[in-house]
Structure 1
């Protein structure tokens, strides 16, 4: 009798990591083909891998200019990678399974639960349907509005194409643009339609699909979940803080806000207050901002968007829990209470873990790049944080990186998109049940 072959059992975290790697390498191969460039030349593998990772991880950092280097084929590859990266490859896989009327297995649901950052498996398939529907409707409306606006500046066909590309890019918080010369949306700093559509798409992509579903169902239920309340209030606070900081510090900056009208100043401040939430596009030149503004944007990028969204960062709920823990400690309270709900201890532990992982990752990568690249420290910190938080805002460092620097930023984007904790779970051996607990000890804090 032949011994039975051992089947390799991958954990949900390992499936996510390997699936993402497969998407990235496929995209890198396609982007390296001569058909992907306008001049018919091959993009070096390191640059193709960087661009594919940036698109699949919905970051937006680029080593070559998207609008002038890539052909229509290459740009479409990037757009598909952005869509897969924003919604998650498991969401896309589930969509195809539903279209083919295939049964979603328990194992697929476990991976989906991990990918969508859900606490349980109930309603996962229903949530995937909502994600696909909301994304299609929002991106279609965004593309239509942008196409109508740009049809006054270019041919209708080109306007439609630009509308679709940028709607997908902004909603998925990817930050890619086709305007050339690494200018992002700076040509449209005074355009109210482009600004308002971009702001709306970034916010909708950043608050997450769970919150969107809650808001859509609110007229019937007349109630929002605790998660939605925390996301909406914290997001509103961060957007307001970002807008005020940009307005105050850049008001007299001749390279950013000073030349603009009052309405232009307010619109530009609001856009720059929203986009660090992992949006990636900008209507002002980030490199020309004052250092105080740049550092505050670093903080906003690190916090990022909401869980279950197309954005990155440690997430606004993590930030809210940390602030709640600090307030509770200062007030001498044992529990963290938000909207008359007490938070479980494991939520606090997870928030602390994610934050420390994030700070550690950014610190280590910043030190490495500081040793490799002869650039200003704040510029390096800005770029590393942008890569980790999958934001895509840049002070212009990325195109001039060394080969090793590009590899380091590529890994940083990958780690930031999947999350350090997911990678840790994917790499760790199968956990064993603890048979005993150590006695409790006391240490002095503070």
Structure 2
């Protein structure tokens, strides 16, 4: 019989292809490529306002922070970068928020009008959607993203253009894109007495617009698609609304609980502290903004350094959790914590299965949630331990705050990053990268192994726990 021909595919080639191009590795590699290209551009003189070369390490840190939609920075974004440099940052933020693979697949769909199996698998890995709904989901991702950013920029212009003229147009666009992609970069340094969005702490138009952009970007496109399909589309067509799927319900309820708890925490703890100069309504607006912003974006409407230790510690938890799967947010994700919390409650109640909203979680889902949280905690704590040892002059809580911000791609800073040494900054770069692609994806891209079927059922081991 003929081998290696039509009827007998070459096993070596098939095996090689599986090893070279797994979707997870392609996605991780695309982020590395974007970071390197961004670093090269930001190093050039035309990217700096001074017209001189930027330190390559500073350029690398900034490119990593922008691509990983974090917001941590070692230079003043407004003063250091030229308009071209700020444009590079904006492109990195947009690509980092949606993923290079999303844009590449979207372009392929535009040109060829269809996607191949390989592109469909890659799109599923990048977006988290079902294979049958990938094409509609990709169209929704791109269209909905640009629509939200345009609306957000328009609303911000209503405040910035009357106050600063045409100079307020570019910052409005920049902040809108940065907010939707949960990046936290801004170019509002020209506003008198401004540090991030502190000048607009009690401004409902700016604060609530940015909060809405952050929250929408942090929900995930699968959730947005389900809301549109089940609630909005039937309303427009005057049909009966459908029930949201289980994933969407968990994401929405988990997000609302975290938002409410965070708002209450900030309002109580910082009422007479960092928000002491605001009136009651402004304090409420600032609390909502900080609660939304802390979990995933890097804007600040209050003095982070001046916050109470309890507020910082609670913020570390919010940043670690982050947003929802398939979104522009980082962290271990809301659904992961819901699975763990449900498992904890069921264990306390003496049950064998974790149940939420009348649905039980598969054992594999529980194991995966535990692995993600354990890996995330290990990365954050090891990073904080090393950086704390290298920089003993900085309080450890501030170091932990910075590391949690990097892993959760939140971008909030206690003004620690600019004071760090070279090794510590490189560690933060790695932490931001792991936080963006996810600890599991990062590990799988390095230790990709084919699944091995269990040859036999092993005897059960019994041991004492706790």
Alignment partner of 2:20: what SS? Answer: coil
Alignment partner of 2:272: what SS? Answer: coil
Aligned length: 440
**For 1:81-110, what per-residue CA distance to the aligned partner results, in whole angstroms no more than 9, with x for missing partners?**
000011111111111112222642212222
2:426 paired residue number: 407
Of the candidates 273, 276, 286, which is equivalent to residue 294 of structure 2? Answer: 276
Q: Does the Cα contact within 8 Å between 2:24 and 2:444 map onto a contact in 1?
A: yes
Q: Does the Cα contact within 8 Å between 2:67 and 2:95 map onto a contact in 1?
A: yes
Task: Measure, in 2, the Cα distance between the counterparts of 1:399 and 1:29.
Answer: 21
2:216 paired residue number: 204
2:100 paired residue number: 89
1:168 paired residue number: 177
- How far residue 429 of structure 1 moved from its aligned partner, in angstroms, is 4.3
Match runs of 1:314-393 below 5 Å: 314-374=332-392, 375-393=394-412
Of the candidates 74, 99, 121, which is equivalent to residue 63 of structure 1? Answer: 74
Of the candidates 216, 232, 248, which is equivalent to residue 228 of structure 2? Answer: 216
- How far residue 432 of structure 1 moved from its aligned partner, in angstroms, is 4.6
Of the candidates 40, 63, 80, which is equivalent to residue 52 of structure 1? Answer: 63
Alignment partner of 2:250: what SS? Answer: helix
Match runs of 1:94-173 below 5 Å: 94-101=105-112, 103-118=114-129, 120-156=130-166, 158-173=167-182
2:21 paired residue number: 10
- The TM-score with structure 2 as length reference comes to 0.91
Task: Measure, in 1, the Cα distance between the counterparts of 2:443 and 2:110.
Answer: 33
- How far residue 430 of structure 1 moved from its aligned partner, in angstroms, is 2.7
Alignment partner of 1:152: what SS? Answer: helix
List, as ranges, runs of 4+ consecutive aligned residues in structure 1 with deviation greater than 4 Å: 3-8
Q: Does the Cα contact within 8 Å between 1:148 and 1:159 map onto a contact in 2?
A: no
Alignment partner of 2:269: what SS? Answer: helix
Task: Measure, in 2, the Cα distance between the counterparts of 1:213 and 1:12.
Answer: 23
Alignment partner of 2:265: what SS? Answer: helix
Q: 1:29 to 1:102 in 2, by over 3 A?
A: farther
Alignment partner of 1:123: what SS? Answer: helix
Q: Does the Cα contact within 8 Å between 1:278 and 1:312 map onto a contact in 2?
A: yes
Say whether 1:231 aligns with 2:231: no
Alignment partner of 2:402: what SS? Answer: helix
**For 1:327-369, what per-residue CA distance to the aligned partner results, in whole angstroms no more than 9, with x for missing partners?**
1111222222222222222111111110001011111111110
CA RMSD of aligned residues (A): 1.6
1:421 paired residue number: 440
- How far residue 265 of structure 1 moved from its aligned partner, in angstroms, is 0.9
2:462 paired residue number: 442
- How far residue 222 of structure 1 moved from its aligned partner, in angstroms, is 2.5
Alignment partner of 1:166: what SS? Answer: helix
- How far residue 252 of structure 1 moved from its aligned partner, in angstroms, is 1.8
**For 1:228-262, what per-residue CA distance to the aligned partner results, in whole angstroms no more than 9, with x for missing partners?**
11111111111111111111111121xx1111111
- The TM-score with structure 1 as length reference comes to 0.95
Q: Which runs of 5+ in 2 are unaligned?
A: 1-9, 235-240
Say whether 1:40 aligns with 2:59: no
Task: Measure, in 1, the Cα distance between the counterparts of 2:111 and 2:204.
Answer: 43
Alignment partner of 1:17: what SS? Answer: helix
- How far residue 203 of structure 1 moved from its aligned partner, in angstroms, is 0.7
